[in-house]
Amino acid sequence: MKKQLTIFLTILLFAAAPFAGASARVQIDITQGNVEPMPIAVPEFITADGASPEIGRDITGVVMADLDRSGLFSVIDQRAYIENLVNVNTRPKFDDWRLINAQVLVVGQVNQLTDGRIEVAMRVWDVYSDEQLGAVSFKTPADNWRRAAHKVADFVYKALTGEDGYFDTRVVFVHETGPKQNRVKRLMIMDQDGANPAPLTDGLNYQVLTPRFSPTQQQITYMAFYEDRPGQVFLFNIETGEQEQLGTFRGMTFAPRFSPDGTQVLMSMERAGNSDIFKMDLATRRLTRLTDQPAIDVSPSMSPDGRRISFTSDRGGTQQIYVMNSDGSDQKRITFGEGRYQTPVWSPRGDLIAFTRSYQGRFYIGVVRPDGSGERLLTESYLDDGPTWAPNGRVLMFYRETSPGAGPSLWSVDLTGRNLRRVRTPGDASDPAWSPLLP
Amino acid sequence: MTGNLVIKLAGAAGALLLMSACATSNGPDVSADTGSSNAGQQAQGVVPGSQEDLEQNAGHRVFFAYDQYTLTAQAQSTLGRQAAWLKEYPETKILVAGNCDERGTREYNLALGARRAEAARAYLVSLGVDGSRITTVSYGKERPLDPRSTEEAWSLNRNATTTITGAGA
């Protein structure tokens, strides 16, 4: 479970390109709503110094899958490649790559080190300007090759978009089994691409809901039901497996979410049937009330600068999204469309708030600016809920029930709404929570 | 902390077992009484003051409209019978659980279920049931009564359900 998370990232460790300085570089603008996937060639990583060809193939496969799933790249079929590369430090024959319409070429090499580790070295080339966009090498234990591959994909993503990637991340989710009336709900964790799924809780005497990742640590907060007692908010340390109830309250505490600096947990607390929003300081365990309304106030989410909080309230009759200052002042409604708006989640970039909308029996995941303008719906189905942002704020994951009676599954979608993908999970899964980039 | 909780719950379960053991040993006489006072009821073998008795002679579940927590006339009449029944068994403690259908978000439904449980609790209290006998819980949409995804199932799943947690007398 506690895998070594250390990868030695040594950017430009080996000779950076002497080929720089050409004209316009190839770049992907992910701020545009409409992105043509960029044709990219990823030949099988070269293996040297006794590294097995298998590990080269495995790493290449993970890199290609990451890039493809992002929707920003279209990976050209390896069978079309003309040049057979034999060394990561040799300049490619760009004509051969232009001929198959590649715009970007990723050349990688895996070297077996004498201490048992592997070194993964790679260069990203702009095929049209014959220019190197970047070079990187990682040293890591051989059994950590998947993380090395995700780091390669993150490096390519950043070289071409100028923004951090999100491939070397994990997802916590609720794994569901058993009949609906007596559903077992336990926490699981996996890599962002569905690999390495592992249980975090056994789910035997309690049901777990709505996990959320700390933006700063390998820690999550969630709500759990023990037997028939009101649900309570818990903290869970992924490294140590330590679990702790966040205070003991007579009423239910639920819908927890970390503040962006990880020092507070926002949550709803129910007293005499009414739910309001509170924040708890994790160091002192002091609880501060933020809303005081006879209506339901739920699902708080703080802006990345820590100044504002979005939440759901039905004070206006039906559920709508509101934004307030983080001390509870200046509460303002920001959504006014038809149907119900719920589960607002502030993007780590700060520019958008994701939400669940329901209208005439259909559910949608959408985004809106914090001032209420620019609403866009990205998905639609029988039930879509529980959006969570990739740490770079460019992709959302959520859970979906495709039709009446269908079990829940995890999906991801980009901000154009076009790149909708099912996320592989072992069985039924709901309530995804995306981790920050791993250290 | 987890250990504590488990022990407490086990303690409560043990207490319940004791209670029902008592009731069973006194069973024959009492149920004969009930049989004569509630003529026409097929409540033979139903232990007075038991969950089964509550379900058969008062009704333990009230239903709500979509996204609502106001009590219908029918719900009020069921709760009226519940209140009368609870006055007959003044030592009985109950848990009122609020539930929702699956056509809402998980977090809002947790809050809505709490509203429904409280609506039922408050009505029982207004009819003279001592509030200290009633605890409430919301299960949101997590524990549906009917697993199907139909209008009929959803109307059953929007409920407040009363369960006896401690008996006495």
Give me the residue spans of the domains in chain A: 8-161, 170-434
What's the rounded Cα separation, in Å, for the pair A436 and A168? 9
pLDDT band at B5 (very low <50, low <70, confident <90, very high): very low
Q: Does A251 touch chain B (CB under 8 A)?
A: yes
pLDDT of residue B33: 35
What's the rounded Cα separation, in Å, for the pair B110 and A235? 19
Can you tell me whether residue B68 is helix, strand or coil? coil
Q: Could you tell me which residue, B21 or A240, shows the higher pLDDT?
A: A240
Q: Which of B105, B114, B143 sits opposite A273 (nearest CB)?
A: B114
pLDDT of residue A34: 52
The CA distance from A12 to the nearest CA of chain B, in Å, is 47
Q: A8-161 falls under which CATH superfamily?
A: TolB, N-terminal domain (3.40.50.10070)
pLDDT of residue A206: 81
Can you tell me whether residue A42 is helix, strand or coil? coil
The CA distance from B30 to the nearest CA of chain A, in Å, is 30
Percent of chain A with pLDDT over 70: 91
User: B-contacting residues of A 206-245, CB under 8 Å?
Assistant: 207, 209-210, 223, 225-231, 243-245
* Backbone φ and ψ of A154, nearest 5°: -65, -35
pLDDT of residue A7: 33
> What are the start-end ranges of the H helices in A78-134?
94-99
| Dihedral sign of CA atoms A163, A166, A168, A169 in order | positive
CB atoms within 10 A of CB B33: 10
B131 pLDDT higher than 80: yes
What's the rounded Cα separation, in Å, for the pair A350 and A358? 24
In degrees, rounded to 5, the angle at the alpha carbon of residue B83 between the alpha carbons of residues B82 and B85 is 65
> Alpha carbon of A130 to those of A68, A92, A127, A312, B70: distances in Å?
23, 9, 5, 52, 70
Q: Which chain A positions have a beta carbon within 8 Å of B119's beta carbon? A: 273
What length is written for chain B? 169
Is the CB of B112 less than 8 angstroms away from the CB of A296? yes
Is the CB of B105 less than 8 angstroms away from the CB of A385? yes
Identify the CA nearest to A268 among candidates B140, B94, B135.
B140
**Chain A, chain B: beta-carbon pairs less than 8 Å apart:** 110
Residue B77 is given by DSSP the state H
Q: Which chain A positions have a beta carbon within 8 Å of B115's beta carbon? A: 273-274, 296
What ipTM was estimated for this complex?
0.90
Is the CB of A255 less than 8 angstroms away from the CB of B110? yes
B16 pLDDT higher than 70: no
pLDDT of residue A45: 98
What's the rounded Cα separation, in Å, for the pair A347 and A325? 16
Q: Does A361 touch chain B (CB under 8 A)?
A: yes
Is the CB of A270 less than 8 angstroms away from the CB of B107? no
Q: For A313-372, how does the pLDDT look when each residue is reduced to its tens digit (9 = 90+)?
A: 999 999 999 999 999 999 999 999 999 999 999 999 999 999 999 999 999 999 999 999
Q: B49-166 falls under which CATH superfamily?
A: OmpA-like domain (3.30.1330.60)
pLDDT of residue B24: 34
Q: What is the DSSP string of A2-26?
A: ------EEEET-S---S----SSPP
pLDDT of residue A248: 87
Is the CB of B105 less than 8 angstroms away from the CB of A244? no
Token pair, residue A418, equals 């076009």
Can you tell me whether residue A36 is helix, strand or coil? coil
Is the CB of A272 less than 8 angstroms away from the CB of B1? no
pLDDT band at B22 (very low <50, low <70, confident <90, very high): very low
| Most confident range, picked from A204-218, A302-316, B155-169 | A302-316
Domain boundaries, chain B: 1-35, 49-166
> Alpha carbon of A188 to those of A1, A147, A162, A238, A426: distances in Å?
11, 19, 32, 11, 10
What's the rounded Cα separation, in Å, for the pair B3 and A4? 31
Identify the CA nearest to B53 among candidates B75, B74, B37.
B37
Q: For A94-118, how does the pLDDT look when each residue is reduced to its tens digit (9 = 90+)?
A: 999 999 999 999 999 999 999 999 9
B40 pLDDT higher than 70: no
Is the CB of A273 less than 8 angstroms away from the CB of B1? no
> What are the start-end ranges of the H helices in A100-232?
145-161
| Dihedral sign of CA atoms A193, A198, A200, A206 in order | positive
Is the CB of B1 less than 8 angstroms away from the CB of A229? no
Q: Given strand A362-368, what is the order of strands in its sheet?
A: A340-346, A353-359, A362-368, A376-381
> Alpha carbon of B141 to those of A62, A126, B156: distances in Å?
38, 52, 12
Its CATH class, for the domain covering A170-434, is mainly beta
Mean pLDDT of A245-255: 93
